[in-house]
Amino acid sequence: MTVDRLIVLVPSQGADGVELARRIWALASPCELRVVLLCAIDADANRESAARLRLATLASLIRDDRVEVTTHVLTTRSWVQAVRRHYQSGDVVICCAEQTILTVANGRQPVWRVIQWVLDLPVYVLPGMYSEARTPESHAEPMAARIWRWLAFIAIVAGFFLVEAQIDLLTYGAAQLVLFMFVAVVALGLIAIWNSFA
């Protein structure tokens, strides 16, 4: 595949901007690739101004005679929508390894993994862009995601209580004890799996 452009998903905060610009330039300059800097934010005037300033600063550090840079601030929280809107054949998506996105089904996930899974696009991951523990891009988890995760947990627990009630009614002795232990192990396993994605 011939690469024409690099689509860079720029976090609105947290990443080392100078190091990010240096790495993008190092990727784009040898092949004279065009660079598109994307930043997805909430529709908030203050955050939009800060994002535009951040992208303009990054663009000035990357741009030279061989590298053309364009910037776009999108008022959407969805990196998937942002990439889908700008992706063209011959593009490679670039994002920081530490960038995450909140998903309804699996909680917080790396952006690169979601882009690959949902859009099936080539993604180049830049590790080590955050020098210290990063602050989450979203301070508050959406209420719908919290409710969905708690309902899933309650459903798992309630389901196993019902199974154990049936075991109690239909079996006795050693068979009952073995079935109780088996159900408890399965329940703990499912809760552990649920917790890893919560």
Whole-number average pLDDT of the chain: 80
Parallel/antiparallel/unpaired status of strands 100-103 and 107-110: antiparallel
pLDDT of residue 146: 66
User: Is residue 73, in this structure, part of any structural domain at all?
Assistant: yes
The number of angstroms, rounded, from the C-alpha of 57 to the middle of its chain's C-alpha atoms is 24
pLDDT tier, 68 (very low <50, low <70, confident <90, very high otherwise): very high
Range of the domain at 188: 143-197
User: Is residue 92, in this structure, part of any structural domain at all?
Assistant: yes
| Domain co-membership, 155 together with 58 | no
User: Is residue 117, in this structure, part of any structural domain at all?
Assistant: yes
Q: What angle do CA 141, 147, 151 make, to 5 degrees?
A: 140
| Domain co-membership, 111 together with 14 | yes
pTM: 0.61
| Domain co-membership, 13 together with 89 | yes
User: Is residue 136, in this structure, part of any structural domain at all?
Assistant: no
